[in-house]
A and B are shown apart, each in its own frame.
Chain A
Amino acid sequence: MRRWARALVWLGLLCTAGCKSEFFIDQGQLENIQGVTFVIKAPHLFIKKAFKLHDPSLSPAQLTQISDAMPAIAAFTHAMLRDPNDVDTPLILPMDVRALRPLMHQPSQTTLFVNTIQNWKVRPGNIEFTIDYFYGNAKGEFVNFRDNYAFELTPAGWVFSNHPRSKAEGLLSCTASAKGWRVCDTAKP
């Protein structure tokens, strides 16, 4: 009996100290992938978490480039997600970036989120990728949308250069994988 009481007290202490502070607060992490370190920390912590980096097709040299460009891509994505009419935080996006909400037939105040940044094509000084955005509709269902981007390395650092494809991939359709996870991809023609 005493042993159970001790175990309960220990669990209670662990939960008070551990669960409340460390366990459920996310301050990010340093992630090592094929010997390349990624700083997954604020600012834009959860955008950085959306980077799909565990991709066997990426070499360490390519991962190094993505690691260098990560802060710039995350800041760019953050700007894409924001309400373009928000007067408190003026947009810092280049003029030739496709506006998302008109493509998604959504008003400017629709809150957008990022799901996955992936489909990397990395060449020296140039990175292409796609961003999967989403929003929750009135029924609580998710609408997923993909667009493509290219970044290039300039003397000022990594900056958006262009859209590799003339059109966004558009709305994604989602199906359950063999293991039951939802996988969203462009609708097959």
Chain B
Amino acid sequence: MQMCTQEQTRLVYGGGLLDFFKFDTGITDGVREDGRSLGAGCGTVKSDAFVPDMLFGIDVSQACFQHDQSYDTCGFDRRLADATLMTNIRGDCNAQGGNFLTCNVIAGVYGVSVALLGASAFKQAQAQSCQ
């Protein structure tokens, strides 16, 4: 009998239920697995290890990175940045094979989070970028 790892099983049978419950921050031993600096993707340098870049098996890091860069662009409209985050998560989630409910739940979670907690981050990023 041959033993297969979870990754090998995923390659043969696809993600299925395993992927649906997959939450990942993309951090191993304090370093991002993609080789970039902490804070690239979802979360900041301090929260990167707690804020997931992968939710229900959907990689949302690129949408987060665009949102970060929008906040960090002098004069960028915050509401537009937040709305675009949700649009991008939905679109990108669909492109990754996520279903309607999953994509809207993820977009909602991140959308509400940035709406509630993003004000100070936006203010700080604008102050830095408009210097």
A interface, CB within 8 angstroms of B: 19-29, 31, 38, 40, 42-43, 45-55, 111, 113-116, 118, 134, 136-137, 139-142, 176, 178-182
Contacts and interface: CB of A to CB of B under 8 A. Distances in A.
A24 B129 CA distance: 17
B99 interface: no
Nearest to A138: B91
Nearest to A183: B34
Main secondary structure of the interface of B (DSSP, over half): helix
B10 A181 contact: no
Nearest to B32: A54
Given A43-B128, A179-B7, 9 more contacts: A28-B39, A45-B72, A45-B128, A49-B39, A53-B37, A140-B87, A140-B88, A140-B89, A141-B92
B45 A28 contact: yes
Contacts of B46: 22-23, 26
A42 B120 contact: no
Given A49-B36, A49-B37, A178 B10 contact: yes
A160 B87 CA distance: 35
B124 A27 contact: yes
16 contacts: A24-B44, A26-B68, A26-B121, A27-B45, A29-B38, A42-B128, A45-B128, A46-B40, A116-B34, A141-B92, A142-B62, A178-B11, A180-B10, A180-B22, A181-B26, A182-B61
